[in-house]
Chain A
Amino acid sequence: MGEKKFDFAREISQAIDKMLAGEKAEPHADMPDDYREAIDFAQKLTELRVTPRPSFKAELKDSLLTKSSKMEQKRTEHIRFWEMLRHLVPQRPVWRTVAASLLVIVVVGGVIWGSGILKQPSALLPEGVPPPEEAPPPAPSAPRLCLGVEAAPAKTVYLPGEEVEIEFKFKNVSSEPITVTPFPPVIGITPPVTVHWKEQIIRSFPTGSEELHLQPGETAVYTLIWDQKDNSGQQVAPGYYKVNADIKGHVIEADGSKSTFGTSGRVTKLLIQFPQGAMEKNIEVKQAQTVTDLPFMWKREELSIDLTITLEQVELTAEGAKFCAFATSPNSPSAGYDHPQWSGPVWAQYTVDGVIKDAGLAGMRYLDDGIQLCWGTAGDWLDPVLSDAKELTFTITEFGEWQGPWEFHIPLQ
């Protein structure tokens, strides 16, 4: 009985992993009611999961990117300094001695100067007048939340040429009056997944010259109309599009001082559907591709392994495309797939009639005999495939630190 209980507990865990990957979990036929109820409740817990606020997400991203750039700059300056120093040091021994002597003289001189021996008394200042104080450094401004931004299109699916209406709500969530400026803010449209991680703004809207003043708790609504055209006036291709906003402004503090704020990032997304419709098809692909001789660190030794990925299923609907694959290695030295080298991000792209689209990162689920990989799950669909598309190729470009490709040609007819 104890063993059976363990098996069901394990099955429940696996069912939860499936739910979290956006799949349907089917309870085992022999499963007692108690366990079935547990699975049902786990489904409820999955649905009750919270998501970070978009404005928090965007602010933190900005802050981290700024920090990252500063760190990178510091690192570059550091390297440049040592490079410069290396070039300054003469290569010949005689000149090295001369340079070292000069350096000693400069250092000793600096120490003597710093000790104050050579300093004149502060006779220039009249008696009783204190020396001028150094200006205090500016106080660092603590990041805080002052503006809540929500945006939603009037509908989530549009046909090509239809006017897209996006409603923005700006709410002052601080306790002080705030001003959004410029208003309307910078708004841009980009494809949601980008080819080779290069984000491309296909349509940018001119910023306004006005200011939006909001009292604490006050909300203002702004409606943006997009004619589905790009910056060169051409109709954009069907697919998912995200709406990004870059919002700046200032807060008037209780003491009358002004501090600035800024937030940027994706605020909403929408789908432009193919006029002739999207392909709706479930394809059992079951194609396997193996890449051999991949480096695998095992007990401080570099071994070679093979990695076989089987593209199992492709689900094409009007909402988008979903790809599911299974990765396994016939000669991995580790038991199971718990080793850190199996946990790197897996990236893929797909090509529809010659047009490459990025599928982004895979959702991963670790099983005893391999790793399940899915793209376009959990509501984050990839662009739909045109109903009369002829060729579809799915390519896994990288698996953690291993380069592919694992390429699959999917029969559409």
Chain B
Amino acid sequence: MGLRLRPNKKAENAREAFVELYEYYLPKVFRYISYQVGDVHLAEDLTSAVFEKALTRLDSYRSNKASFSTWLLSIARNAVIDHYRVRSRKVTISIEEAFEVVSEEISPEGKVIRRDELQRLETYLRELPQQEREIISFKFGAELTNRQIAKILHLSESNVGTKLYRAICKLRDKFKEG
């Protein structure tokens, strides 16, 4: 199905092309959702659902209407919104758990510090207004440009920049206080 994204690829390479795209976009989608839901297992479930939906709806993707990343992240955003619409339960498992499996190169002491910081970040993110949290998620999670974020959130680019700066300052102040 990756063939549809890259019309120049030959059919026999469709599988490989799909794998390349998956490797490229998975961390971005996963991180965006992790910031939004603050629960690594839930983030994994929603990420799976996003990629499955993207795979089945790939035929409806039009490259002249939106970039692939904007299209994919819009599906991710809707998945998060739908999740909160259906289940407004409090999350129980934090994003810091994800760290355990990816940080072999950091010392045990460093791991403890990082885990603490992740836990605090998760708490402070929840205290941000929804839109600011979403901008942080798009920027640091999905690595989108302000222009791409502006397009998804229907804001002006400068507005995104200002809100991003404001959200960073709020988080920084909370970290200082904490």
Instruction: Give Cα distance in the complex from A143 to B162, angstroms.
Output: 42
**B4 nearest CB across to chain A (Å):** 11
Contact residues of A between 191 and 206, Cβ < 8 Å to B? 194, 196-199
How big is chain A's contact interface, by range?
35 or more
Contact residues of B between 135 and 178, Cβ < 8 Å to A? 136, 139-141, 143, 145-148, 151, 158, 160-162, 164-165, 168-169, 171-172, 175
Closest to B101 in A: A53
A residues in contact with B14, CB < 8 Å: 72
Establish whether residues A52 and B1, one from each chain, have CB atoms under 8 Å apart when the complex forms. Answer: no
Establish whether residues B145 and A17, one from each chain, have CB atoms under 8 Å apart when the complex forms. Answer: yes
Q: Does A344 belong to the interface (CB within 8 Å)?
A: yes
How many residues does chain B have at the interface if contact means C-beta atoms less than 8 Å apart? Answer: 70
Contact residues of A between 115 and 165, Cβ < 8 Å to B? 143, 145, 148, 150, 152
Establish whether residues A340 and B70, one from each chain, have CB atoms under 8 Å apart when the complex forms. Answer: yes
Establish whether residues A343 and B98, one from each chain, have CB atoms under 8 Å apart when the complex forms. Answer: no
B residues in contact with A44, CB < 8 Å: 117, 175
Given contacts A12-B161, A51-B98, A52-B27, contact A38 B70 (CB under 8 A): no
Given contacts A45-B168, A57-B26, A343-B70, contact A71 B20 (CB under 8 A): no
9-residue interface stretch from B59-67, B79-87, B126-134: B59-67
Q: B161's contact among A6, A42, A64, by CB below 8 Å, is which? A: A6
Instruction: Give Cα distance in the complex from A48 to B70, angstroms.
Output: 24
Establish whether residues B161 and A9, one from each chain, have CB atoms under 8 Å apart when the complex forms. Answer: yes
Instruction: Give Cα distance in the complex from A272 to B27, angstroms.
Output: 27
Establish whether residues B31 and A49, one from each chain, have CB atoms under 8 Å apart when the complex forms. Answer: yes
Q: Does A297 belong to the interface (CB within 8 Å)?
A: yes
Residue interface mask A48-70, B partner, CB < 8 A = 1: 11111111110011011101100
Establish whether residues B169 and A38, one from each chain, have CB atoms under 8 Å apart when the complex forms. Answer: yes
Establish whether residues B16 and A340, one from each chain, have CB atoms under 8 Å apart when the complex forms. Answer: no
Instruction: Give Cα distance in the complex from A67 to B18, angstroms.
Output: 12
Establish whether residues A65 and B15, one from each chain, have CB atoms under 8 Å apart when the complex forms. Answer: yes
Contact residues of B between 1 and 32, Cβ < 8 Å to A? 1-2, 5-9, 13-22, 24, 26-27, 30-31
Q: Does A365 belong to the interface (CB within 8 Å)?
A: yes
Given contacts A71-B56, A361-B24, contact A344 B165 (CB under 8 A): no
Q: Does A398 belong to the interface (CB within 8 Å)?
A: yes
Given contacts A9-B165, A38-B172, A68-B55, contact A49 B141 (CB under 8 A): yes
Q: Does A278 belong to the interface (CB within 8 Å)?
A: no
A residues in contact with B51, CB < 8 Å: 60, 64
Q: Does B47 belong to the interface (CB within 8 Å)?
A: yes
Instruction: Give Cα distance in the complex from A67 to B20, angstroms.
Output: 17
Residue interface mask A1-39, B partner, CB < 8 A = 1: 000001011101100110010000000000000110110
Residue interface mask A351-389, B partner, CB < 8 A = 1: 000000000110001100000000000000000000000
Establish whether residues A10 and B161, one from each chain, have CB atoms under 8 Å apart when the complex forms. Answer: yes
**A18 nearest CB across to chain B (Å):** 12
Establish whether residues A50 and B16, one from each chain, have CB atoms under 8 Å apart when the complex forms. Answer: no
Instruction: Give Cα distance in the complex from A12 to B140, angstroms.
Output: 13
Given contacts A13-B146, A50-B102, A51-B27, contact A65 B18 (CB under 8 A): yes
Q: Does A401 belong to the interface (CB within 8 Å)?
A: yes
Establish whether residues A64 and B139, one from each chain, have CB atoms under 8 Å apart when the complex forms. Answer: no
Given contacts A71-B1, A197-B16, contact A340 B161 (CB under 8 A): no
Establish whether residues A60 and B64, one from each chain, have CB atoms under 8 Å apart when the complex forms. Answer: no
B residues in contact with A61, CB < 8 Å: 19, 22
Given contacts A60-B48, A150-B101, A199-B16, contact A38 B165 (CB under 8 A): yes
B residues in contact with A63, CB < 8 Å: 48, 52
Instruction: Give Cα distance in the complex from A68 to B55, angstroms.
Output: 7
Given contacts A41-B168, A50-B99, A53-B98, contact A65 B140 (CB under 8 A): no
Closest to B99 in A: A50
Given contacts A50-B98, A60-B51, contact A343 B168 (CB under 8 A): no
B residues in contact with A365, CB < 8 Å: 145
Q: Does B118 belong to the interface (CB within 8 Å)?
A: yes
Q: Does A46 belong to the interface (CB within 8 Å)?
A: yes
B residues in contact with A361, CB < 8 Å: 20, 24
Instruction: Give Cα distance in the complex from A38 to B166, angstroms.
Output: 9
Establish whether residues B162 and A344, one from each chain, have CB atoms under 8 Å apart when the complex forms. Answer: no
Given contacts A345-B6, A366-B147, contact A360 B117 (CB under 8 A): no
Query: Measuring CB to CB, which residues of chain B are less than 8 angstroms from any residue of chain A?
Result: 1-2, 5-9, 13-22, 24, 26-27, 30-31, 34, 40, 44, 47-48, 51-52, 55-56, 63-70, 95, 98-99, 101-102, 104, 114, 117-118, 121, 136, 139-141, 143, 145-148, 151, 158, 160-162, 164-165, 168-169, 171-172, 175
18 A-B pairs whose Cβ atoms sit less than 8 Å apart in the complex = A17-B145, A34-B169, A38-B168, A50-B98, A56-B44, A60-B44, A63-B48, A64-B18, A68-B18, A72-B1, A145-B44, A194-B16, A197-B9, A197-B13, A340-B65, A340-B66, A343-B68, A365-B145
Query: Measuring CB to CB, which residues of chain A are less than 8 angstroms from any residue of chain B?
Result: 6, 8-10, 12-13, 16-17, 20, 34-35, 37-38, 41-42, 44-46, 48-57, 60-61, 63-65, 67-68, 71-72, 143, 145, 148, 150, 152, 194, 196-199, 297, 336, 338, 340-345, 360-361, 365-366, 398, 400-401, 403
Nearest 4 interchain pairs by C-beta: A343-B67, A197-B16, A41-B172, A9-B165
